[in-house]
Structure 1
Amino acid sequence: MIAGIIIAVIVGVIVVWLIAAYNGFVRANNNCEEAFATMDVYMKKRYDLIPNLVETVKGYAAHESGTLQKVVEARNMAQSASTVEERAQAENILSGTLKSLFAISEAYPDLKANQNFMDLQSQLQRIEDEIANSRKYYNAVVKIFNNKCQMFPSNIIANVFHYTRKPMFEVENEEERRNVRVDFNA
């Protein structure tokens, strides 16, 4: 009789743990999806802003059409990416082309003085900050999810219910990872 009660308690504890562990994965997965959706909203704002920025620059720097075309192509590639990995890679490319677009503005004083361009540049900077913050949040919730997928005993539940590691948004360009060298003597 006592052995039956002990076995029932052990089975009950295991069942409660399984339910709690599964619900923890559901919650963590939903947090990852919500974080990506939030980041996606900010990236969409940036995609919508880029054509206006390109058109403004085009009026001042018509012979820079190659750079402008690269920005548009990078934007379209990022918008059409279907997986998180593709999106991360396309976003890194887009960020690089936007830097080259702003480098063009340095060569055109009239463009830098244009209020519309300055407003667009300011909006884009705010959106870039929002994207950076949403990437931090996304990476934080993905880290929690990935830890659950890899740590014992929750990795058992992950394997049973086919939860796998999710990719993080990372800087892929090695050039961007290097420390910036500031030299005031040059």
Structure 2
Amino acid sequence: MQAWQWIGVALAALVTGYGIWCYNRLVFNRHRVAEAWSGIEVQLKRRSSLIPNLVAALREYMAHERGTLEALTEQRSAAQRHEGDTVSERGVAETQLGTALMRVLILAEAYPQLKADGSFLALQRTLSEVEDQIQMSRRYYNGAVRELNILVESVPSNLVARPLRFTTAEYFTLADAREGHAPTLEF
């Protein structure tokens, strides 16, 4: 073989190697986004599973707040109906659930006998931990989405991403930025 043929083979091998490397990075980041979303779903399901216990604990103390407790239960059901939906639709439903949960917990502050209830205090601590985990999971997910989206949209990796149908992912955002703070559940 002549020198120009070796250069052609080397160049083809380099381009192929780079294509494989880009493809593997895209696959890695797509799986990281999926894994991060799974982490969010676990925490959202944990929060959702705690709500019936919260409603049961509060029902005996907050008899005249029945409408607020029912609204929380309805928001939980609505959030569960959105489990298979897009990230943005799920975000709206979960934001509404979080708002209803905070409203109930703020109302619970008006009941001093709750402060002495050990099961309520344990539930309150668990909910606070879950809210913190949701925030951390959301940050991790959005970071993974950012990395994938950069690869899908930037040159030269987009030359591999487009033909192989890699797409950008949605960020998990809040409907209202003020809702990004974990509720203070200190009683």
- Do both proteins adopt the same fold according to a TM-score greater than 0.5, normalized to the shorter chain? yes
Distance 1:112 1:171 in 2: 31
Distance 1:176 1:43 in 2: 15
How far is 1:80 from its partner? 2.2
- Runs of 4+ aligned residues of structure 1 deviating over 2 Å after TM superposition are 174-178
Alignment correspondent of 1:105: 108
Distance 2:180 2:13 in 1: 51
Equivalent of residue 122 in structure 1, options 125, 146, 155: 125
Equivalent of residue 144 in structure 1, options 143, 147, 155: 147
Aligned-residue sequence identity (percent) comes to 35
Q: Which amino acid aligns with 1:4?
A: Q
Alignment correspondent of 2:62: 61
Unaligned residue ranges in structure 1 (runs of 5+): 179-186
1:22 correspondence with 2:23: yes
Q: Which amino acid aligns with 1:36?
A: W
* TM value normalised by structure 2: 0.89
Distance 1:165 1:63 in 2: 48
Alignment correspondent of 1:184: none
Q: Is the 8 A contact 2:135 2:180 kept in 1?
A: no
Distance 2:112 2:174 in 1: 31
Q: Deviations over 1:3-52 (max 9, x none)?
A: 21111111111111111111111100011111111121111111111100
Unaligned residue ranges in structure 2 (runs of 5+): 182-187
Q: How does 1:1-186 map to 2 (within 5 A)?
A: 1-81=2-82, 82=84, 83-176=86-179
* TM value normalised by structure 1: 0.89
How far is 1:174 from its partner? 4.9
